[in-house]
Structure 1
Amino acid sequence: MADPIIHIAPAKINLALHVTRRREDGFHDLESLVVFAALADELEAVPDTVDSLTIVGPFSPGLASGDTNLVARAIAAFRARWPDAVATGLALRLTKNLPVAAGIGGGSADAAAALRLMVSQSGQAIAMSELSDLAARLGADVPACLVSAPLLARGVGELLEPLPEFPELHILLVNPMVPLATADVFRRLRAHDNYPLPALPSPLTRPVQLGIWLAETRNDLQPPAVKLVPVIGEIVDHLALAQGCMLARMSGSGATVFGLFGSSGQAHQAAQMMRAQNPEHWVAAAPLLLPHA
């Protein structure tokens, strides 16, 4: 039996997210500093006669593995765009290690991993620009998840500026296990024309530079999310008290809260504190992924 092809789908974290404009199509223009953690879903595949998808792992219950699943949609969209690129079918197995509807891009990251997997098995060259266009049609966060390295995202998430440098940092993620729909959060948003992100320092190589910059930023979706799920605000307040925590804030549209730390020891010590306070919460610490060489 052939060895499985494995691609990971790292958690996406919005360190800062400014909503700058409501567009005529009803969507919003955003500006966001996006990073990825060494915490991930895992997608593996072996050649088969037809494409199929099985979902396992701690967060698999209740997830549909049919045509509506983002991984299945990504595979189908890739085959429709490049019908002769991958000669065989693929039996796919997705291990869901990340919480669902948690503001850390789980489904989008899974779709991006599926696209990367298809490219790795392609018998023809696939232009990154065309792959990114296809990713954008699957979801606003999928193009960023294709990169899976520090970047600035603008527009609805399709305008990406990968960062050449980024400081080594560790992140702690805490999720209260309360799903939060993005549409519900945007419906509660009061201001739709906030000022954009300040310019990033260049070069951005030291944690203190990032900490100073982040102090001038926000997540504009955090206040409406806290109104819907008040425990998010409680987690932010508790995590901010952890020793060495540079910043505690909600990621994306929630409900995951992150804490930024300069060392692995500080992040894991804070994880122990947060688990002791709320054993039912999902708590995980990991280093951030650095820019691609």
Structure 2
Amino acid sequence: MGGMDRMQLRAMAKINLGLDVLRRREDGYHEVRMIMQTVHIFDQLQLEKRREEGIRVRTNLYYLPENENNLVFKAAKLLCDEFGLPGGISIELKKYIPVAAGMAGGSSDAAAVLFGMNRMYELGLSVEELMQRGVRIGADVPYCIMRGTALAEGIGEVLSPLPPLPPCTILVAKPGIGVSTRFVFENLKADELERHPDIDGMMEALKKQDLKGLAGLMEAGNVLETVTVPAYPVIQRIKDAMLRAGALGALMSGSGPTVFGIFDSRQAAKRAYGVLKRGHLAKQIFLTTPYNNRSFGG
């Protein structure tokens, strides 16, 4: 086999500019309608071919599984099994994206492994074909292969590219709590939601490149907050602090507990960063920007 023996990749985090749940399906999955956006916060992965059989995963976080319970292991195994790849592979993963935070860190790492192994082993899979395999690992993986701004429907795997988020500064804050995605979805009363986000209005604002208009629709932008905010009041406190500090809009990402605020002034975002730091509201805080390159090749 040709190809490279070693590859370094960045796995980018995502936020949800809008997240709606339409219904719970018979199979227990939820039908969603979400606007996804990649941001400049990333994990680093190094993939290396080995002579010895097997998949070896090393991470910089002692509490992460290094076996088939880790999505990067699953991604590597999927391609090893399907293509009967010779030898083994070692995956060195440096995590910077907050874990269990609603930022698709694990899904993005898996996407990076699929993309990297496709190159290293010259498997010749198209982005589409990688995305079809990705959905078997997790609903967010196809989006993490595609990246940029996108509408996600179905269980999250039906994707349509959208115009990019206009230039802005994004403040990302994760409080020192973990929230289980399963807990959030199991406690979501999908049929009783009184308010749904205006996803169409958000898409219209992106078309017009109207940052203020988009941010103005974020107030009811994530239906999962109906579960997390009552359970974890700190989420609302972080949102309020960001809005008071000048955010155009603030929202929880995914199933939380990460909150992000969109600012049209870097100065205001920096001030808000200071407010959150001093108030000890969040454990991890990032000042970042939208990342609009398509796919890992981009």
- Shared fold by TM > 0.5? yes
CA–CA distance in 2 between the matches of 1:279 and 1:234? 8
Which residue number in structure 2 is paired with residue 53 of structure 1? Answer: 57
Is residue 103 of structure 2 the alignment partner of residue 100 of structure 1? no
Q: Deviations over 1:88-108 (max 9, x none)?
A: 532211001122111111111
| Stretches of structure 1 lacking an aligned partner (at least 5 in a row) | none
| Contact 1:19/1:192 (8 A) holds in 2 | no
| Contact 1:140/1:157 (8 A) holds in 2 | yes
The Cα RMSD (Å) is 2.1
CA–CA distance in 1 between the matches of 2:191 and 2:19? 12
Q: Shift of residue 166 of structure 1?
A: 3.0
Q: In structure 2, the residue corresponding to 1:157 is in which secondary structure?
A: coil
Q: 238, 241, 245: which one pairs with 1:242? A: 245
CA–CA distance in 2 between the matches of 1:267 and 1:34? 21
Which residue number in structure 2 is paired with residue 233 of structure 1? Answer: 236
Which residue number in structure 2 is paired with residue 167 of structure 1? Answer: 166
Which residue number in structure 2 is paired with residue 112 of structure 1? Answer: 111
Q: Shift of residue 32 of structure 1?
A: 0.5
Q: In structure 2, the residue corresponding to 1:137 is in which secondary structure?
A: coil
Is residue 8 of structure 2 the alignment partner of residue 19 of structure 1? no
Q: Shift of residue 170 of structure 1?
A: 1.8
Q: Deviations over 1:182-207 (max 9, x none)?
A: 11112222233755722522634342
Which residue number in structure 2 is paired with residue 78 of structure 1? Answer: 79
Q: 206, 223, 227: which one pairs with 1:224? A: 227
Q: Shift of residue 264 of structure 1?
A: 3.3
| Contact 2:216/2:249 (8 A) holds in 1 | no
Which residue number in structure 2 is paired with residue 211 of structure 1? Answer: 215
TM-score by length of 1: 0.90
Q: 1:91 to 1:154 in 2, by over 3 A?
A: same
CA–CA distance in 2 between the matches of 1:210 and 1:197? 10
CA–CA distance in 2 between the matches of 1:171 and 1:13? 10
Mapping for residues 211-290 of structure 1, pairs under 5 Å? 211-214=215-218, 217-243=220-246, 245-278=247-280, 281-290=283-292
| Stretches of structure 2 lacking an aligned partner (at least 5 in a row) | none
Q: Shift of residue 272 of structure 1?
A: 1.8
Q: In structure 1, the residue corresponding to 2:63 is in which secondary structure?
A: coil
| Contact 1:240/1:247 (8 A) holds in 2 | yes
Q: Shift of residue 3 of structure 1?
A: 8.6
Which residue number in structure 2 is paired with residue 138 of structure 1? Answer: 137
TM-score by length of 2: 0.88
Amino acid corresponding to residue 192 of structure 1 in structure 2: D
| Contact 1:166/1:291 (8 A) holds in 2 | no
CA–CA distance in 2 between the matches of 1:198 and 1:272? 34
Q: Shift of residue 122 of structure 1?
A: 2.7
| Contact 2:5/2:120 (8 A) holds in 1 | no
Q: Shift of residue 82 of structure 1?
A: 2.7
CA–CA distance in 1 between the matches of 2:231 and 2:164? 36
Q: Shift of residue 67 of structure 1?
A: 2.1
| Contact 1:6/1:44 (8 A) holds in 2 | yes
The number of residue pairs the alignment matches comes to 285
Q: 1:5 to 1:282 in 2, by over 3 A?
A: same
CA–CA distance in 2 between the matches of 1:13 and 1:260? 11
Amino acid corresponding to residue 65 of structure 1 in structure 2: E
Q: In structure 2, the residue corresponding to 1:52 is in which secondary structure?
A: strand
Q: Shift of residue 281 of structure 1?
A: 1.6
Which residue number in structure 2 is paired with residue 182 of structure 1? Answer: 181
